[in-house]
Amino acid sequence: MRRPILLLPLAVLLGGPPARAAEPSAHAAALDAQGAARRRLGDAAGALEAYRQAVRAAPEWAEPRAALGELLLAGGAAAEAAEAFAVAARLSPELAPAWCGLSAAARRAGEAGRAAEAGRRCTALRPDDAGAWRALAEALRDAGDLAGAARAREAELRLLEAGGAPASDVEAARAALAAARAAAEAPGAGAGLEPPPPNAGAVAKLAQGDRAFTAGEYRAALFAYQDAVYLDPGSAPARVKLGRAYLALRYPEQALAQAEQALALDPSSAEARRLAVEAGGAPPAAVPVSAPPAADPAPAGAPTTRP
């Protein structure tokens, strides 16, 4: 299976670099390297101090904050770790360790909803990581989304089987999936719980992308669909639309990556399968045959930018 292509690098290629902080100073980089070296030597206290200094020296640099979060989490400071990861994720939304770490830290701190949302971002950035899907399943279970937990367990098992994992790991995943399905199908499971509403911001971005796509403005559509996936990374239809925009701009590899991620989220998606076939064949025509299906109208007052 091809590795997914992250969204930000292509956005840079198509529309120029996004606004981002200046490169860290040599002093900050040296402190970050010192933290990594002390960590390798098992000097947790020294590594913590070095990373704290790196954060103070370069407050807009996400990586030292994520490393600081990992050390804080390992030391049992879950709430402080969660905040370090959260800041790192805001500074660099494509930094997978920040989202994956935030999910783990928030879950340990008892923030089930926050853990589940961060876990969705984590799996969106690491769709081939069985461990990320396992962690998401546990976070969703804690948050009361038993059906979602079962789907995450299915993704975990598929990846373990496809990757030739040890038989003991595969059997453990099968047992966990069976338990998750039983919990989701138990009488009264989810009783009294309303299904989660669609992400209003993502719906608005999909509608914006559909209008641009229909008008032949494929680059604008691409950016709108990227925003929709950012806001709702677990949406298979949003990934199909993003893949269509990539295909229209003659980026078949990125289109195929989005199709594969959509199929991981919804294996029954005929649109995702069709996109995968088209992206894996000859280069597409400059003008696609048809625009993606129109999104549901955005509710009144829906935000059109990232929160």
Same domain, 239 and 268: yes
Q: Indicate whether 40 belongs to any domain.
A: yes
Residue-averaged pLDDT of the chain = 82
How distant, in Å, are the alpha carbons of 85, 167, 212, 231, 249 from that of 285?
42, 45, 18, 29, 9
- 291 pLDDT more than 80: no
Question: Do 234 and 181 belong together in one domain?
Answer: no
If asked whether residues 39 and 177 sit together in one domain, one would say: yes
Sign of CA dihedral 92, 96, 102, 105: negative
- Per-residue model confidence as pLDDT tens digits over 74-106: 999 999 999 999 999 999 988 999 999 999 999
211 lies in the same domain as 90: no
> Tell me, what's the pLDDT at 198?
65
95-138: pLDDT as tens digits: 999 999 999 999 999 888 889 989 998 998 899 999 999 999 99
- Is residue 121 domain-resident? yes
211 in the same domain as 163: no
Q: pLDDT digits over 152-163, tens only?
A: 999 999 999 999
Tell me whether residue 286 is in a domain.
no
- Region 185-207: mean pLDDT is 70
Residues 40 and 175 grouped into a single domain: yes
**pLDDT surpassing 90 at residue 13:** no
179 and 204 housed in the same domain? no
The CA distance from 233 to 256, in Å, is 16
Q: Are residues 35 and 151 in the same domain?
A: yes
In a domain, 82, yes or no: yes
Let me know whether 147 and 232 are in one domain: no
The CA distance from 59 to 71, in Å, is: 18
30-53 mean pLDDT: 95
Q: Classify residue 62: in a domain, yes or no.
A: yes
pLDDT digits (tens, 9 = 90+) for 45-81: 999 999 999 999 999 999 999 999 999 999 999 999 9
**Does residue 7 form part of some domain?**
no
**Distance set, CA 75 to CA 106, 197, 233 (Å):** 14, 37, 30
Q: What is the pTM of this model?
A: 0.59
Domain shared by 233 and 181, yes or no: no
Q: Are the CB atoms for 209 and 245 separated by under 8 Å?
A: yes
In a domain, 259, yes or no: yes
Higher pLDDT, 106 or 21: 106
Residue 190: pLDDT band by 50, 70, 90 thresholds?
low
CA-angle at 58, arms to 57 and 59, nearest 5°: 110
Please count the structural domains in the chain. Answer: 2
- Here the CATH number for the domain that contains residue 223 is 1.25.40.10
What pLDDT score does 1 carry?
Answer: 42
Question: What confidence tier does 196 reach under pLDDT thresholds 50, 70, 90?
Answer: low
Regarding whether 208 and 85 lie in a shared domain, the answer is no
Domain limits for position 205: 200-280
Is residue 111 in some structural domain? yes
The confidence band for 258, taking pLDDT boundaries of 50, 70 and 90, is confident
Q: Are residues 100 and 239 in the same domain?
A: no
3 state DSSP class of 181 = helix
